[in-house]
Structure 1
Amino acid sequence: MELKGEILAIISALAWAGSASIYKKGLEGIDPWSGNLIRTGFASLGFFLILIIKGTLSESLLTITLSLLFWLIFSAFFAFFLGDLLFFTSLKEIGVSRTVPISSTYPLFVTAWAFIIYRKPLSIFVIVGTLFIVLAIKLISGEEKDKNSKDNAKKENNPHSKGILLALLAALCWSISITVLEHLVLYLPSEAVAGFRFLITFSLMAAVGSQRKFTITRRSVIWIGIFGMAVLVIGNYTFLEGIRLIGSAKVAPISSVYPVISVLFATIFLRETLTPKIIGGTIMSFLGVLLIVLG
């Protein structure tokens, strides 16, 4: 069972690594709101198909209580509604190779919540990991400042500073959502937790954005809708199923490698330019996250 959980964690890392490049391609010509609406709609469909095929839809619906519904909405809002909107906007602002290493630092915030709420002591691993993450963000953001200073761009008009902040806020939102995932998978199957959260997010996107003009193109449907659904279903299902089998403490260190793979994918498929500072920042981010989850 432990080996199966570890394999599922590796699969989730590969799926998440590829997802950022897929979203970046699909976001060309549309806004983040439209992209997230397409993504959550297709993802909901994918997970509900899994529920129907596995025959767990009726049982999952009957299991939901008011308490579980509240936590599903809570988790969906911070993970896929607010968190992913911030992530998509950051992708458009600064690209995959800068957004992913920064947004992947959410375990730092998860650890912070554990300290604040449960008074869990901070180990030396957490402290060193935090320093690594701070250095990683400084390297990645410093690369942009150097570049812009050469171009004599005004600091206050630097769009990359905004993108970096958005990526950090996305990580913060994801960490809030993650705090309730282990509770949810105790009562609902992994595909139900993911499917219901995506359906809730899709409904929120449609309701809140009802006055907005959504843009849907053939390119966005193919990349964000179809390909995005594939990596979302695979990534989220394997991650949650891995947590159910061996726990988040063992799944998180394995899946935390995805930023490094994601940057490689961005270089190969999106032709994004990697500078020494981005490479160094990515490695520092990965090491920092790894130390934190091990601590």
Structure 2
Amino acid sequence: MQEFLGWMLALGATVIWAFTPVLYRRSGEHFSVLGINAVRCIGYLATAGLYLAMTEGARALLSPPSGEQLFAIIAGGVVWLVVGDAFFFAALNRLGVAVTSAVTSAYPLLAVPVSCLFLGESFHLSLLFAAALIGGGLYLVAPREDGTEALRNRTGMFFAFAAMVCWLAGLVSCKVSANVLPVAEIEWWRALGVTGVSWLVFLLRERRFGAGSAAPSGLRGAPASAVLWTVAAGALSLTVGNLLFTGSLTAISAVVATNIVSIRPFLSALFGALLLRERLTPRLLGGIGLVVSGVAAMSF
């Protein structure tokens, strides 16, 4: 029964992480990249604070860690969730949900060598085979249109890879912070710092370009439903999904949980096709399959 619960928690996290890019993609119709970052943080901050208050009491919300630890949490979070996710949203707007999810799911291709070099984790020759699978998958999913669309796609691929590089800062920051602080406290202080920086950057952008910009921006003119969906997406992807996955690790092994999560690109492609009418081709599905196989192989 406990193992079944672990499977369900990991699957729940997978579905949430696969579905939220659809919400973010639709948010791009009303908000700029910086606007999405700022609005979604409302949901992130609210749920992270609620979780900390429920687990450690309301006083924990006003009990920050040491200055050095707080700086590391906030700095890592800003690079990871402000800069990295801004690149992710920009890639979504250019490549769509299916391709962006497949490319960024190759994140372990960068995370594993970084973990080996900076976190002292072991390296296995099987990782080379996994890397070959992921590389083949990325070759297949990369769009191949000509003309101006080709430039848009190349820019989208650059943004997707830039997002993965920035996410590595989050990996190192989380690993270091988790050795000295509870997860609930890390999430709260990260949420507080990320929310503050996201809104500061967004408001500065609005003040300088908002009046004369034809691009989607912030809250002005956006329907209430778009704001609510973006807030919900932030709460789901940044808090609920993480908590479900962490909870699954108490009932099943990290290998099993990682393999369950590796199906996320397939689910994202399905959601993109059903809700956004994105086109699924045999080449795209084959590339996603290779990426998923490579990610699964890296978890053994």
Q: TM-score, normalised by structure 1?
A: 0.86
Query: Residue type of the partner of 1:262?
Result: S
Q: Indicate whether 1:102 and 2:103 are aligned.
A: yes
| Aligned mates of 1:254, 1:60 — CA distance in 2 | 33
For 1:215, which of 205, 213, 218 is the aligned residue?
218
Q: Deviations over 1:34-74 (max 9, x none)?
A: 01100112211122123233443423653622232133113
1:253 counterpart = 2:259: yes
CA distance in 2 between partners of 1:206 and 1:196 (Å): 16
Gaps of 5+ in 2: 207-216
Q: Secondary structure at 1:215's aligned position in 2?
A: coil
The AA in structure 2 aligned to 1:111 is V
* Alpha-carbon distance between aligned partners in 1 of 2:128 and 2:87, rounded to the nearest angstrom: 27
Stretch moving more, 50-59 or 16-25: 50-59
Q: Equivalent of 2:271, from 253, 265, 274? A: 265
Preserved contact between residue 107 and residue 293 of structure 1 (Cα < 8 Å): no
Q: Return closer, same or farther for 1:80/1:244 CA change in 2, 3 Å cut-off.
A: farther
The answer to whether structure 1 residue 293 and structure 2 residue 294 are counterparts is no
Q: Which moved more, 1:239-248 or 1:221-230?
A: 239-248
Shifted more, 242-251 versus 279-288: the winner is 242-251
- 2:72 aligns to what? 71
Alpha-carbon distance in structure 1 between the residues aligned to 2:238 and 2:63: 25
Match of 2:154 in 1: 161
What is the number of residues matched between the two proteins? Answer: 286
Check 1:7–1:184 CA distance in 2 against 1; reply closer, same or farther (3 A cut): farther
Call closer, same or farther: CA 1:211–1:59 in 2, change over 3 Å: closer
Counterpart in 1 of 2:16? Answer: 15
**2:63 is paired with a residue of what secondary structure?**
helix
Contact 2:9-2:244 at 8 Å conserved across structures? yes
Deviation at 1:282, TM superposition (A): 0.9
User: Bigger shift: 93-102 or 124-133?
Assistant: 124-133
Change (3 A) 1:96 1:233: same
Mapped contact 2:43–2:235 kept (Cα < 8 A):
yes
In the alignment, is the contact (CA less than 8 A) between 2:47 and 2:235 conserved in 1?
Answer: yes
- Confirm or deny: 8 A CA contact 1:9 1:242 kept in the other structure: yes
Which amino acid counterpart does residue 159 of structure 1 have in structure 2?
R
Note the C-alpha offset of 1:247.
Answer: 7.1
Identity of matched residues, %: 23
With 250-259 and 82-91 compared, the bigger mean Cα shift is at: 250-259
